[in-house]
Amino acid sequence: MVKTLAALPDGPVTVSGWVETVRDQKKVQFVILRDESGAVQLVNPATREVEEGADAAASARLATTEAISALAHGSFITVTGELKHDERVKLGGLEVKIASLDVVTEANPETPIAADSSLDKRMDWRFLDLRHPKQALIFRIQTTFLHALRGVWVEKGLIEIQTPKLMASASESRAELFEVEYFEGKAYLAQSPQFFKQMAQAAGFGGVFEVGPAFRADPSFTSRHATEFTSIDTEISWINSHEDVMALHEELMVAGFTAVVERHGAEIAELFGIELQVPSRPFPRIPLAEAKQIVADRGYVIPRADDDMDPEGERQISAYVKETFGHDFVFLTDYAASIRPFYHMRHEGDASLTNSYDLIYNGVEISTGAQREHRIDVLVEQARDKGMDPEELEFYLDFFRYGVPPHGGFGMGLARVLMLMLGESSIRETTYLFRGPTRLLP
């Protein structure tokens, strides 16, 4: 790999990769070769012609020169040559003088996308788009981030689960569910592992986590919505309130950001122009009613008829938190029961509010968490309050008829976190292969 060359002494090497650029000068040729680990400069003293009867070596040098002249961007080649460390070489301080070149696969000379191509065009040719070091770095960051989260979960003794994505009935409502044919009947693609996470609490697992796909039949075309996305979920038992869930959420985020900054901070600064910071604990916490008043005092009145924040309200409260606390994160707490699912626990003494929160990061909601209602009689009544038929929820309600501890958890969109972390404009940039209302390819 290219990244291993720096540690090698001057001498013979073999390296493979994609052709990034070719500078075909009269007396010398330069090729920038890139693989997944980095780029290196190749150099070839050009031989433009040979005399009749020249030896095989001269003919081979001419063939190499002609092959380099014909190289198209993206061709995959293998080169054997002499490695030389030279501080004058801008790209890594080393270069390889070509002895032989093998064109493993040729690329079409006309590249379908360029640096200024539209996002939709780049998504059409995603495999080429991902060759760019900036795009590839996103998914190295994702790997580091998730590995750090798993480290926290495993250290705390949580169990990783893989919940089914085919469901017999809706978890909340059928409004945002994809219905699919299932033999002689119908099934639904899961919009959340919520019920199955809670089943694990009834099963005595104590705490679980999952990183997996979720599906929302939501015809939104915003920069932060997708019909299929990767959801980060966790659920823990033996909590006293949603504060315990928020404390775990903070710990996970700090661990993830710490790992990303330590491993990729310099690359992020170079390619994204961002000096990524590890958030401090505790994250600010603001009850929703207070947050809406803060936003109103800043001159923006949320026009929604319900009791929720809207996107501009999220941006405004984040700006306030940044100005007041110097923090990029804020928990908005105590959401109204009217806009929360039936399984969110309500405040003791005030059933109009729930033990729940949204986590806002850089002006965008990335997660919803809550303490769950674990008392069967209360749960049934809250389902009825939402206009739901408890009989359709029997498999779920059975979890609570045989003893379940107080518990809570959260779900968080992975692509949104990465989008906001790296200052990208759309989750399409931070999703390996995006799925939306009009995109099922590639």
**Predicted local confidence at residue 371, as pLDDT:** 98
48 among the known binding-site residues?
no
Cα 286 to Cα 290: distance, rounded to the nearest angstrom: 7
What's the average model confidence in pLDDT over 55-79? 93
- How confident is residue 3, by pLDDT bands cut at 50, 70 and 90? very high
Question: Which carries the bigger pLDDT value, residue 198 or residue 220?
Answer: 198
Rounded to the nearest integer, the mean pLDDT of the chain is 95
Which pLDDT belongs to residue 53? 66
Taking the C-alpha atoms of residue 356 and residue 416, their distance in angstroms, rounded to an integer, is: 20
Banded model confidence at residue 23, pLDDT cuts 50, 70, 90: very high
Mean pLDDT of 22-40: 96
pLDDT tier at 47 (50, 70, 90 boundaries)? confident
For 333-369, write each residue's pLDDT tens digit. 999 999 999 999 999 989 999 999 999 999 999 999 9
Does residue 79 register a pLDDT over 70? yes
Give the type of residue at 379. Answer: L
Q: Per-residue pLDDT tens for 220-229?
A: 889 999 999 9
36 marked as part of a ligand binding site: no
The string of pLDDT tens digits covering residues 104-155 is 999 999 999 998 999 999 999 999 999 999 999 999 999 999 999 999 999 9
415 annotated as a binding-site residue: yes
Per-residue confidence (pLDDT) for residue 12, from 0 to 100? 97
Model confidence at 170, in pLDDT bands (50, 70, 90)?
low
pLDDT band of residue 172 (cuts 50, 70, 90) is low
Q: Is 424 annotated as a binding residue?
A: no
Terminal Cα-to-Cα distance of the chain (whole angstroms): 28
pLDDT at 173 over 60: no
Describe the strand order of the beta sheet including 166-167 as a list of residue ranges. Answer: 166-167, 185-189, 179-182
Angle at 408 between CA 405 and CA 412, to 5 degrees: 155
Q: 89-123 burial, b if ≥16 CB within 10 A, otherwise e?
A: eeebebbbebbebebeeebeeeeebeeebeeeebb
pLDDT at 54: 72
Query: At residue 273, does pLDDT exceed 60?
Result: yes
Asked if residue 368 belongs to a known ligand binding site, the reply is: yes
pLDDT digit string, tens, across residues 382-434 = 999 999 999 989 999 999 999 999 999 999 999 999 999 999 999 999 999 99
Q: Is 172 assigned to a binding site?
A: yes
441 assigned to a ligand binding site? no
Q: Which residue reads 């929703």 in tokens?
A: 288
414 is an annotated ligand-binding site residue: yes
pLDDT at 174: 60
On the question of pLDDT at 171 being above 90, the answer is: no
pLDDT score, position 153: 98
Instruction: Check pLDDT > 80 for residue 175.
Output: no
Per the annotation, does 324 bind a ligand?
no
Question: All domains of the chain, ordered by start, with CATH?
Answer: 2-105 (2.40.50.140), 123-421 (3.30.930.10)
Q: What share of the chain is helix, strand, coil (3-state, %, to 5)?
A: 35, 30, 35
